Amino acid sequence: MSLIKFSCLTSLLFVTAFAAAAPNRSTDKPAPPTPEALHEKLTQISQDPARLSAAIQRGQKDAAVCRHCHGAGGNSVLPEVPNLASQNAAYLLEQMNKFVQGQRKSSAFMEGMIKLLTPDERIAIALFLSQQPVAHKPAAAHSAAGKNLYAKLCINCHGASGIGTHTIPRLAGQQVAYLEDSLKRYRSGNGERIDLRMAAYTRNLKDADIQALAAYLSTLQP
Ligand code: HEC
Ligand code: HEC
């Protein structure tokens, strides 16, 4: 028997032995919950006042590390870092799930941090942040062009005051640089942010349109 055949045979035996032992092993570690199951759990917790307040307390602790970039209570002071305060809980959870599953790209550091959270921690953080008040900031220059574009293209989904719905993000008062980056990412289709609806609505925007929209949205107050 040649050496190659022999090593194939031993690895086959090894695989067979391993497979025989596998049923026990796989029960040790259950598959991670699906995004749908996590959203279902978030909805259930939101509807139960006792569980909600426990989750918010837990989320406050778990989100302590996020303050370094996202600011106290999710009110960012860094231009490229988004506000998370008062963001819609289901949207926050969805984005964390997207980072974990590689469907949204960010810095390796931030992705690594999110991947370290357990699914329950993601839910608790989303609920905590969604309840934090938005800090009022000095208003940036108002953009009439941005207002018109928003009314024409965006208002149907993100709402007249820019607060979104449970799965559509709040845009009101968001950081200008972050809004511009996000819109350019959807437009470029480079895979950093993937969403068919946003790809369709940003496809024909010029850089000046994006600047006007971002300026307008940052001035919307809750
Ligand atoms: C090192 C800085 C940094 C830290 C620490 C950090 N983030 Fe982020 N986060 C960012 C940046 C920058 C973005 C924008 C990512 C992008 O679109 O490229 C972001 C985006 C997000 C988003 C998407 C927001 C949106 O509007 O779509 C969520 C949710 C988020 N972070 C949650 C967290 C949580 C939870 C923690 C703590 C466990 C955390 N981040 C810690 C920098 C950070
Ligand atoms: C058909 C519904 C729809 C329309 C119209 C729409 N959006 Fe969105 N928008 C969404 C959804 C859904 C998301 C979340 C996508 C994801 O998961 O990345 C989103 C995400 C965004 C984000 C990222 C927010 C964040 O916190 O990271 C920005 C910015 C945004 N939209 C701006 C706009 C602007 C400006 C327009 C008009 C030019 C617009 N949207 C039109 C549905 C829509």
Q: How far is the CA of 169 from the centre of ligand 2 (A)?
A: 7
Q: How far is the CA of 140 from the centre of ligand 1 (A)?
A: 23
CA of 65 to the centre of ligand 2 (A): 27
Contact predicate 162/170, CB 8 Å? yes
Atom 27 (ligand 2): residue with closest C-alpha?
182
C-alpha 153/C-alpha 201 separation (Å) is: 7
Confidence of residue 136 (pLDDT cuts 50, 70, 90): confident
Over range 59-68, report the average pLDDT: 96
**25 CA → ligand 2 middle, Å:** 43
Query: Angle, nearest 10°, between helix axes 207-219 and 176-188?
Result: 140
Ligand 2 atom with minimal separation from the 95 CA: 17
Instruction: Tell me what the mean pLDDT of segment 169-183 comes to.
Output: 96
> Which ligand 2 atom is at minimum distance from the Cα of 104?
18
Which residues does 161 contact at the CB level (< 8 Å), separation at least 6? 172, 220, 222
Average pLDDT of the chain is 87
Three-class DSSP category at 125: helix
Is any ligand 1 atom within 6 A of the Cβ of residue 115? no
Q: What residue ranges define each of the domains in the chain, with the CATH number in brackets? A: 35-130 (1.10.760.10), 144-219 (1.10.760.10)
Q: What is the pLDDT of residues 75-129, one digit of tens each?
A: 999 999 999 999 999 999 999 999 999 999 888 888 999 999 999 999 999 999 9
User: Which DSSP letter does residue 66 get?
Assistant: G
Is the pLDDT at 193 greater than 90? The verdict is: yes
With a 6 Å cutoff on the Cβ, whether 80 touches ligand 1 is yes
Nearest CA to ligand 1 atom 3: 69
Instruction: Count Cβ neighbours within 10 Å for each residue of 1-40 and write b for 16 or more, e otherwise.
Output: eeeeeeeeeeeeeeeeeeeeeeeeeeeeeeeeeebeebbe
